[in-house]
Amino acid sequence: MDAKLNFEAGMQELEELASALERGEMGLDDSFAAFERANELRKALQRLLDEGDEKIRVLTESGETELDAEEIK
């Protein structure tokens, strides 16, 4: 896995892999490799989202206020 994965770049790569798999133009071995890479990316991106969520929770606990869903709209 990448040492420091950028969320946006990871999402782009994941989308490209998904599109390539959907087109069905790869051989079986390449499809397996693409699927494995996509799964690795999915897990890494989920970890990044979880870390971001935790940072937001820490900030809100230290004096920041949570945004109400209506405030975001």
Give residue-wise pLDDT tens across range 10-68: 999 999 999 999 999 899 999 999 999 999 999 999 999 999 999 888 888 776 566 66
How far apart are alpha carbons 25 and 17 in whole angstroms? 12
SS3 23: helix
Residue 17's CB is within 10 A of a number of other CB atoms, namely: 21
pTM summary value: 0.72
Handedness of CA 9, 47, 17, 2 (dihedral sign): positive
DSSP 2: -
Q: Tokens 């109400």 correspond to what residue?
A: 68
